[in-house]
Amino acid sequence: MQQAKKRRLLASVAAGTLGLSYLTAEYLFNFAFKRVDYVPETSADKQKYAAQYWRYVDWFKKVEKEHWTWSTDDGDDQMSAYFIPADDSTKAVIISHGYKGNGETMANYAKMFHELGFNVLLPDDRGHGQSAGKYISFGWLDRLDYLTWLNRLIKRLGAQTKLLLFGVSMGGATVEMLSGEDLPPQVKAIIADCGYASIHEELTYLLKRQFHLPEYPIYPLVSTINRHRLGYYLGDISSTDQLKKNHRPIFFIHGEKDTYVPASMALENYQATDAPKELWIVDHASHAESFWLDPTAYRAHIQAFLNKYFY
């Protein structure tokens, strides 16, 4: 009798624990993956750059540009991007934005590349900005969308165009994951700033650091929820796996003091590819701060990489 009561109690505790774990996973999935129709306030360490940031946004709003769209397979959902043309230039960069950002939030990079003579394309990823999508795919579905954007650029600029892939944070991981796809020959080089090595590694790191939660059972439950909502497990999302298939020159940039995506992930990504590669760990820079810390030095490093591998 006592044994039966004990088994029922243990079963009840186990069921309650599982239920609580699922509710926690559902909350975290919605918190991290659900679309947000606004750009959250930047982190405290970068608010000191607000005046400079809004000057770049003002430039973006005023510069001549075109709104490009295309429809997904079902025809109901549209993907959105802004194209900033450059006079008499057949080189172009596609700029991939960060988590819960949009193309406009990359105005500083857009202006830098435009001044370097590039046509600039600024997509809004799935679940961001003016593009469709209920959920954020952390670059995994976006990498395939970017194949469409690349073909649109080639159609607009001609087969002789030379294309550069550039991204920051989630955008850095997006172009790293894109590197493993069958890219058109016009893509000549890639620049990835503070991209993560894999979603598994990134989310388990943040679970511990931000929420003080263990990997198990939360991460597998979030991954299962993602499988039901978006069609794939989180273990599929890996920059390092995709970089193993890359053969294009790639430049990795990462802030030394990044506590959101640790700088150790830059080394993982660097080691994953056998392509021509360079790595710049930026002293004193936090997450996605490398440009803002010294825009002149940032531009000079990118120009040096382009001189070596792109032109």
Look over the chain and give the mean of its residue pLDDT values, rounded to a whole number.
93
User: Which pLDDT band, with edges at 50, 70 and 90, does 43 fall under?
Assistant: confident
Alpha carbon distance 299, 90 (integer Å)? 20
Residue 62: pLDDT over 90: yes
- 251: β partners: 191, 278
Q: pTM for this structure? A: 0.94
The mean per-residue pLDDT over the stretch 13-26 comes to 68
Crossing angle of helices 107-115/295-309, nearest 10°?
50
Q: How confident is the model at residue 19 (pLDDT cuts 50, 70, 90)?
A: low
- Return the C-alpha torsion angle 197, 202, 203, 204, nearest 10: 100
Q: Which of 4-8, 79-83, 167-171 has the lowest mean pLDDT?
A: 4-8
pLDDT band at 4 (very low <50, low <70, confident <90, very high): low
Distance between CA atoms of residues 260 and 44, nearest Å: 13
Listing DSSP states for 60-127 in one string gives: HHHS--EEEEEE-TTSS-EEEEEEE--TT--EEEEEE--TT--GGGGHHHHHHHHHTT-EEEEEEPTT
With CA atoms as reference, report the closest residue to 202 among 216, 215, 191.
215
From CA 132, how far away is CA 72, in angstroms rounded?
9
pLDDT in tens, 277-301: 999 999 999 999 999 999 999 999 9
- Residue 16 has a pLDDT of 47
The phi-psi region of residue 11 (left if phi > 0; otherwise alpha if psi is between -120 and 50; otherwise beta) is: alpha
Domains and CATH numbers, the chain: 34-198+237-309 (3.40.50.1820)
Of the listed ranges 39-48, 82-91, 160-169, the least confidently predicted one is 39-48
pLDDT of 220 higher than 60: yes
pLDDT band per the 50, 70, 90 thresholds, residue 9 = very low
For 53, left (φ over 0), alpha (ψ -120 to 50), or beta? Answer: alpha
67 in Cβ contact with 82 (< 8 Å): yes
